């Protein structure tokens, strides 16, 4: 994170270089907003977290039974570990697991990126699908898995998606200016198209990939390397070598060769049955694709997988070792299983239902000011206007500092932010907001005091009731007039001040100073001071770490 500077430091720099300060003051509003993110080094994840915390504060005001937990770098969420927001709002328990990806604004996300087969690629769906399957269990909680990015999706990717507006989720993400997409379910894709996204997810499973490898090697008469000192040569074959030998291989003494085990096609074990279907489909696809196009339709209907396999022997890099393993495994009845991550249409549709792409958010330059604006318009603060960019920067810096403090207060991640902590953060930010309000009201108070006197025209005021009200004390009647008067008038403060000024000059009262103060300004100051005093008396604030 970039080094931050206090306002005192900024003030020292300004006093040492007045010309530089004047140049800063002449910057446009857009430039000042852009400075906010850059100056304090806001991370995109932190900005999203800040928006969620403020939204939690707003939801807290709307529902007195609201509760929540917010955590970052939560290992229980797998690939969705950046931010986890658990909350109960109006009786509904929801958990948002969010992975945040930021990139240069002009770099859109393409369909090719979504379909990448490498688990290291930022937008590869297969890693999010696998993470979803590893952790999802049906429950009473509404579970949403979110991929959040600041950039748009390319048209070729949008073709497989539908734009949605899930209100229960948008009330969290709307403040960041996002667009929402869900993948269209398999049945919703036009029949003339195969759902390439769904197929890609199915093919990403270990079960499919292992079946495909075995089918390719057996059909093409390639050597299977099951036992090797270098497992990385083919990790899946090495990982499931014993299952392959136990359930698929047998040695024919007559033919002196290794073949597919006859029992493989009749084995009723559920794990074997599921894998056998994957293997048969993969083998059929490879065999049909190798034929000429004119023969494919006929062959697909009549193709006999095991009839074709029976013509071939299984080649291995070390047949003697495989034969020994076949005998030992059979004698010892070692239980070995194939992969269990077979992907069905139902699995894909469930992921499509729970997975949400939140994209095209405001940029990191714009987000701080947008978050501040959302804060000002929310139900957790009084409407106000931050009067200059420096105050806006300080406002956002304070919020960022408090969020960072809570999130990094424990060396053991994740650090959980509960509803009571959100309430404390909200109150601390409110204190800063009240300070800004008081500062603004005080400036108005001083400006009113410095208003220049206007020329008096006493002739027009002699008959006014105000003349008698403000007349000097009369010693004969022993009537003493107060030194402070309250003047109620339908006119604005400037016009009323003119009347009072002229009346005092008409009376020639012996006064040292005359102040013309807008009563609304005084009332605002009184309320702000009362709010601040109440804030400092709050036990939650007094007992919190500073």
Question: 350 and 338 in one domain?
Answer: no
Angle at 513 between CA 507 and CA 515, to 5 degrees: 95
Is position 465 within any domain?
A: yes
pLDDT along the chain (546 residues), means of 10: 33 39 42 46 81 87 89 91 92 94 87 88 93 93 94 90 79 85 80 69 88 93 88 87 90 84 90 92 87 59 84 85 79 71 89 94 83 72 52 68 70 71 76 69 67 56 70 69 66 69 68 64 73 60 44
Residue showing tokens 């029976």? 310
Decide: 431 and 532 in contact? Cβ < 8 Å.
yes
Q: Which two tokens stand for residue 281?
A: 């489909």
Question: 137 and 215 in one domain?
Answer: no
Question: 299 and 175 in one domain?
Answer: no
Largest CA distance in the chain: 142
DSSP H or E run through 146:
strand 142-149
Is position 432 within any domain?
A: no
Is position 268 within any domain?
A: yes
State residue 451's pLDDT score: 56
Question: 161 and 24 in one domain?
Answer: yes
Question: 298 and 163 in one domain?
Answer: no
Q: Domain boundary residue among 315, 342, 369?
A: 342
Is position 542 within any domain?
A: no
Q: Domain boundary residue among 393, 418, 443?
A: 418
What is the C-alpha separation between 218 and 237, in angstroms, rounded?
13
Q: How far apart are the first and last CA of the chain?
A: 21
- Cα dihedral 478, 483, 487, 493 in deg (nearest 10): 150
Question: 250 and 185 in one domain?
Answer: no
Question: 18 and 122 in one domain?
Answer: yes
Q: Which two tokens stand for residue 407?
A: 């999130």
Is position 525 within any domain?
A: no
Give the domain extent around 484: 452-515
Is position 249 within any domain?
A: yes
What is the C-alpha separation between 83 and 434, in angstroms, rounded?
30
Question: 471 and 324 in one domain?
Answer: no
Is position 128 within any domain?
A: yes
Question: 24 and 116 in one domain?
Answer: yes
Which strand ranges, in their side-by-side order, compose the sheet holding 67-72?
161-163, 179-183, 355-359, 142-149, 92-101, 83-89, 67-72, 416-418
Question: 233 and 183 in one domain?
Answer: no
Q: Which two tokens stand for residue 394?
A: 């300080």
What is the C-alpha separation between 218 and 216, in angstroms, rounded?
6
- The pTM assigned to this predicted structure is 0.67
Q: Which two tokens stand for residue 304?
A: 């006999």
At 13 the three-state DSSP class reads helix
Residue 322, CA distances (Å) to 233, 252, 257, 522, 530 in order: 18, 13, 11, 92, 85
Question: 329 and 211 in one domain?
Answer: yes
Our count of domains for the chain comes to 3
Q: Domain boundary residue among 371, 398, 418?
A: 418
Is position 133 within any domain?
A: yes
Residue 315, CA distances (Å) to 4, 255, 258 in order: 65, 13, 7
Angle at 380 between CA 376 and CA 383, to 5 degrees: 35
Question: 377 and 243 in one domain?
Answer: no
């Amino acid at each position: 994170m970039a080094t931050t500077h206090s306002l005192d430091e900024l003030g020292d720099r300004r006093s040492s270089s007045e010309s530089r300060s004047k140049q800063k003051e002449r910057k446009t509003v857009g430039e000042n907003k852009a400075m906010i993110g850059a100056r304090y080094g806001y991370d995109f994840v932190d900005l999203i977290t800040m928006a969620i915390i403020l939204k939690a504060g707003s939801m807290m005001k709307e529902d007195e039974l609201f509760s929540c937990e917010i955590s970052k770098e939560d290992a229980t969420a797998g690939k969705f570990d950046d931010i986890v927001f658990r909350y109960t709002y109006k009786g509904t328990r929801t958990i948002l697991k969010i992975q945040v990806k930021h990139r240069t604004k002009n770099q859109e996300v393409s369909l090719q990126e979504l379909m990448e087969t490498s688990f290291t690629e930022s937008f590869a769906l297969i890693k999010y699908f696998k993470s979803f399957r590893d952790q999802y269990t049906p429950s009473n909680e509404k579970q949403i898995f979110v991929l959040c990015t600041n950039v748009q999706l390319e048209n070729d990717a949008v073709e497989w998606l539908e734009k949605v507006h899930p209100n229960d989720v948008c009330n969290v993400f709307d403040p960041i200016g996002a667009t929402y997409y869900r993948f269209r379910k398999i049945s919703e894709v036009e029949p003339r198209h195969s759902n390439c996204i769904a197929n890609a997810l199915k093919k990403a499973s270990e079960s499919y990939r292992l079946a495909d490898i075995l089918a390719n090697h057996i059909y093409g008469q390639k050597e299977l390397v099951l036992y090797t000192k270098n497992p990385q040569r083919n990790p899946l074959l090495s990982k499931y070598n014993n299952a392959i030998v136990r359930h698929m291989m047998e040695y024919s003494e007559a033919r002196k060769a290794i073949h597919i085990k006859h029992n493989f096609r009749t084995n009723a074990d559920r794990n074997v049955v599921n894998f056998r279907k994957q293997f048969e489909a993969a083998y059929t696809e490879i065999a049909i694709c190798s034929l000429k196009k004119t023969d494919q339709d006929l062959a697909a209907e009549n193709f006999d997988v095991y009839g074709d396999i029976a013509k071939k022997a299984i080649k291995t890099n070390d047949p003697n070792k495989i034969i020994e393993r076949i005998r030992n495994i059979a004698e010892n009845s070692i239980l070995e299983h194939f992969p269990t991550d077979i992907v069905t249409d139902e699995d894909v549709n469930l992921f499509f239902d729970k997975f949400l792409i939140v994209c095209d958010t405001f940029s990191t330059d714009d987000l701080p000011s947008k978050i501040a604006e959302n804060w000002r318009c929310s139900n957790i603060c009084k409407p106000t206007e931050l009067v200059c960019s420096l105050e806006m920067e300080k406002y956002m810096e304070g919020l960022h500092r408090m969020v960072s403090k809570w999130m990094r207060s424990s060396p053991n991640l994740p650090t959980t932010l509960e509803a009571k902590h959100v309430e404390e953060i909200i109150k601390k930010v409110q204190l800063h907001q009240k300070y800004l309000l008081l500062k603004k009201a005080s400036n108005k108070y001083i400006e009113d005091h410095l208003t220049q006197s206007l020329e008096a025209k006493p002739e027009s005021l002699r008959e006014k009731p105000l003349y008698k009200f403000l007349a000097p004390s009369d010693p004969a009647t022993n009537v003493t007039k107060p030194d402070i008067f309250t003047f109620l008038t339908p006119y604005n403060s400037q016009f009323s001040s003119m009347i009072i000024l002229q009346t005092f000059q008409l009376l020639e009262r012996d006064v040292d100073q005359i102040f013309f103060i807008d009563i609304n300004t005084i009332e605002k100051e009184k309320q702000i001071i009362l709010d601040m005093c109440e804030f400092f008396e709050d036990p939650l604030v007094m007992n919190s770490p500073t």
